[in-house]
């Protein structure tokens, strides 16, 4: 390994590898010396990403399933939504890691190093990356490592903090059970005792599906509670079917209005560490793609990719804070909020809104669809920066 690289990517998860993929596709980076560092070898299938987009992007070749329709189910409302112009897509973590890293292995200007990064520091010119036995220098660090646990960093410093936590079973049934043309985005017909809770069912064929139990609450559950909720749901929804669990995944994603640092000097943060998780939904895939596209465009144009939040990002940050305030203070439950939104708006407007791509007119329609008596006071408090009174969770 050399001691200096043009660019160092610290963290080879979704953000690091999305950026690397975009670098490999742009001739500007053909001769740049690029080092990618991750503590893990990235050889396990530790997560499944789903997201919606209206045109194919860089990971289209590894999309394993697409849905043009999704269903929304709540106790008082049920609908099958035509997503057009969007398509809901699924990618397996291991496929993305293998795809990007095998392409990178064929490039002589890219080096992968499996080692923990201890710290990253910006310098007068360039930046440094500290490993156990070596300090490397570089022109720019693109960092997606959170050097402090997210709960310590954000939970106490933010007004709103919930975990989106979930466990998923990939199951294979003995006989055909699923309609794989329609994915279940949210099924709220499960116990809401803990807070906003729903099932998420992504059928990949008539006999295979990812069935995920998801909650937006302050603390995570005992493992067996997720298992029971999933098995009860399968029994309730599909009857006494024979099935095997072929894979399991667990995740917890921060839902918060904490201002994650975009970086400093020659360090550009991205991914969860850079604040690309949408506070009110936990979705990050789309925002990480947008961020890595913007970084590439800036670097190629000779501009500094370290940018302050623009008006649109601040606007959507405020909307997220308002929804989080309503959810965290239990002013209205998630099932009711999403029922209002999905029943009173066309799906394309809702999905544009959730991707932070809606127009002001779209936003006004979405706002008009939720109860003003609950959302207006929360919006005023969020706008004025009124702190929540809370106990620590
Ligand atoms: C199970 C799960 C499922 C998800 N599903 C979706 C989804 O369907 N749709 C969606 O939009 N979002 C989803 N998310 C949210 C988000 O897209 C993911 O968390 C995504 O992986 C975030 O990308 P990232 O690069 O910020 O972090 P990661 O992908 O976690 O990458 C961070 C990398 O840093 C490495 N690292 C950490 N510390 C060090 C260190 N000190 N030294 C060296 N390396 C280090 C890690 O090994 C890791 O490879 C999901 C999250 C999880 C956990």
Residues 142/8, Cβ–Cβ less than 8 Å: yes
Write down the pLDDT at residue 152: 80
**Radius of gyration of the CA atoms of the chain, in A:** 21
> Ligand 1: which of 144, 170, 295 to mutate, judged by most atoms within 8 Å of the beta carbon?
144
By residue count, the chain amounts to 393
Q: What percent of the chain has pLDDT over 90?
A: 88
188 touches ligand 1 (CB under 6 Å) = no
Whole-number Å distance, alpha carbon 13 to ligand 1 midpoint, is 5
Dump pLDDT digits (tens) for 357-367: 999 999 999 99
What pLDDT does 381 receive? 82
Residue 66 structure tokens = 């697409």
296 Cβ closer than 6 Å to some ligand 1 atom: no
Q: Strand 65-67: give its sheet, edge to edge.
A: 48-53, 87-92, 65-67
Max Cα–Cα distance, the chain, nearest Å: 65
Residue from 274, 10, 326 nearest 138 by CA? 10
Alpha helices in 142-220 (DSSP H): 150
The CA 253 to ligand 1 mean position distance, Å, reads: 9
Which CATH architecture describes the domain 4-67+88-150+257-300? 3-Layer(bba) Sandwich (3.50)
Distance in angstroms (rounded) separating the CA atoms of residues 372 and 74: 21
Ligand 1 binding pocket includes 289 (Cβ within 6 Å) = no
Which ligand 1 atom sits nearest the alpha carbon of residue 117? 42
Tokens representing 86 are 């969007």
**Ligand 1 contact, 202 CB (< 6 A):** no
DSSP letter string over 364-380? HHHHHHS-HHHHHHHHH
Over the stretch 16-64, which tens digit does the pLDDT of each residue have?
999 999 999 999 999 999 999 999 999 999 999 999 999 999 999 999 9
CB 207 within 8 A of CB 173: yes
Nearest CA to ligand 1 atom 48: 13
Burial 178-199, CB ≥16 within 10 A → b, else e: bebebbbbbbbbbebeebbbbb
Whether the predicted pLDDT of 391 surpasses 50:
no
Residue pLDDT, tens place only, 110-132: 999 999 999 999 999 999 999 99
pTM, whole model, 2 decimals? 0.96
User: Is the Cβ atom of 275 under 6 angstroms away from ligand 1?
Assistant: no
Domain boundaries, the chain: 4-67+88-150+257-300, 161-255, 311-384
Would you call the peptide bond into 85 cis, given omega within 30 degrees of 0 as the criterion?
Answer: yes
Nearest CA to ligand 1 atom 34: 11
Nearest protein Cα to ligand 1, atom 16: 284
Report the C-alpha gap between 116 and 102 in whole angstroms: 21
Residue 83's pLDDT is 97
> Which pLDDT belongs to residue 388?
61
**C-alpha 14 to ligand 1 mean position (Å):** 6
Position in ligand 1 atom list of the atom nearest CA 116: 42
Taking the C-alpha atoms of residue 69 and residue 86, their distance in angstroms, rounded to an integer, is 9
The three-state secondary structure class of 289 is: helix
Over the chain, what is the mean pLDDT? 94
Q: Which residue has the higher pLDDT, 45 or 150?
A: 45
Give Cβ neighbours of residue 364 (< 8 Å, ≥ 6 apart). none
Q: How far is the CA of 250 from the centre of ligand 1 (A)?
A: 12
In short, whether 225's Cβ falls inside 6 Å of ligand 1 is no
Do residues 35 and 9 make contact, with C-beta atoms less than 8 angstroms apart?
A: yes
Two tokens, residue 69: 């329709």
pLDDT for res 160 = 83
Ligand 1 mutation pick, 271, 274, 295, 354, max ligand atoms within 8 A of CB: 271
Pocket test for ligand 1, best of 8, 10, 11, 18 (most atoms within 8 A of CB): 11
Q: What share of the chain is helix, strand, coil (3-state, %, to 5)?
A: 35, 30, 35
Place of tokens 């939970």: 155
Q: Name the helix (H) or strand (E) containing 327.
A: helix 311-328
Q: How far is CA 266 from each of CA 121, 137, 304, rounded to the nearest angstrom?
A: 8, 11, 9
Residue 389 has pLDDT above 60, yes or no: no
The encoded tokens of residue 77 equal: 């409302």
Q: Tell me the pLDDT band of 393, cut-offs 50, 70 and 90.
A: very low
pLDDT tens by residue, 281-340: 999 999 999 999 999 999 999 999 998 999 999 999 999 999 998 998 889 999 999 999
- The predicted structure's pLDDT at residue 386: 67
Give the pLDDT band (50/70/90) at residue 392. Answer: very low
Instruction: Report the half-sphere exposure of 52 (CA within 13 A, side-chain side).
Output: 24
Instruction: Please tell me the predicted confidence (pLDDT) of residue 155.
Output: 66
For the Cβ of 271 lying below 6 angstroms from any atom of ligand 1, the answer is yes
> At residue 156, does pLDDT exceed 80?
no
For 267-278, how does the pLDDT look when each residue is reduced to its tens digit (9 = 90+)? 999 999 999 999
Arithmetic mean of pLDDT, 255-260:
90
Measured over the CA atoms of residue 280, residue 277, residue 53 and residue 177, the dihedral's sign is: negative
């Amino acid at each position: 390994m050399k001691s200096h690289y043009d660019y160092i990517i610290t963290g080879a998860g979704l953000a690091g590898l999305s950026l690397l993929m975009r670098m490999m596709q742009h001739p500007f980076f053909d001769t740049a010396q690029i080092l990618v560092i991750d503590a893990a070898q990235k050889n396990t299938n530790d997560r499944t990403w789903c997201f919606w987009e209206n045109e194919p992007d860089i990971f289209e070749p590894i999309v394993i399933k697409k849905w043009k329709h999704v269903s929304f189910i709540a106790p008082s409302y049920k609908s099958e939504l035509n997503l057009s112009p969007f398509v809901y897509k699924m990618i397996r973590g291991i496929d993305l890691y293998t795809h990007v890293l095998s392409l990178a292995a064929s490039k002589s200007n890219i080096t992968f190093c499996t080692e923990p990064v201890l710290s990253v520091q910006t310098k007068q010119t360039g930046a440094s990356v500290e490993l156990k036995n070596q300090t490397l220098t570089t022109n720019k660090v693109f960092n997606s490592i959170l050097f402090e646990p997210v709960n310590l960093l954000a939970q106490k410093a933010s007004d709103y903090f919930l975990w989106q936590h979930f466990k998923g079973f990939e199951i294979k049934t003995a006989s055909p059970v699923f309609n794989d043309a329609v994915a279940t985005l949210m099924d709220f017909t499960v116990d809401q005792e803990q807070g906003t809770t729903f099932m998420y069912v992504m059928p990949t064929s008539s006999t295979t599906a990812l069935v995920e139990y998801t909650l937006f609450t302050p603390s995570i559950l005992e493992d067996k509670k997720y298992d029971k909720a999933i098995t009860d749901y399968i029994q309730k929804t599909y009857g006494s079917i024979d099935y095997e669990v072929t894979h399991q995944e667990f995740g917890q994603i921060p839902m918060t209005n904490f201002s994650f640092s975009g970086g400093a000097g020659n360090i550009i943060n991205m991914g969860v560490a850079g604040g690309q998780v949408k506070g009110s939904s936990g979705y990050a895939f789309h925002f990480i793609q947008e961020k890595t596209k913007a970084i590439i465009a800036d670097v190629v144009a000779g501009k500094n990719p370290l940018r302050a939040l623009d008006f649109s990002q601040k606007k959507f940050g405020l909307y997220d804070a308002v929804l989080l305030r309503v959810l965290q203070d239990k002013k209205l439950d998630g099932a009711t909020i999403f029922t209002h939104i999905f029943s009173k708006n066309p799906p394309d407007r809702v999905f544009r809104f959730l991707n932070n791509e809606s127009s002001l007119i779209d936003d006004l329609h979405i706002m008009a669809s939720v109860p003003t008596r609950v959302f207006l006071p929360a919006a005023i408090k969020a706008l004025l920066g009124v702190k929540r009174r809370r106990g620590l969770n």
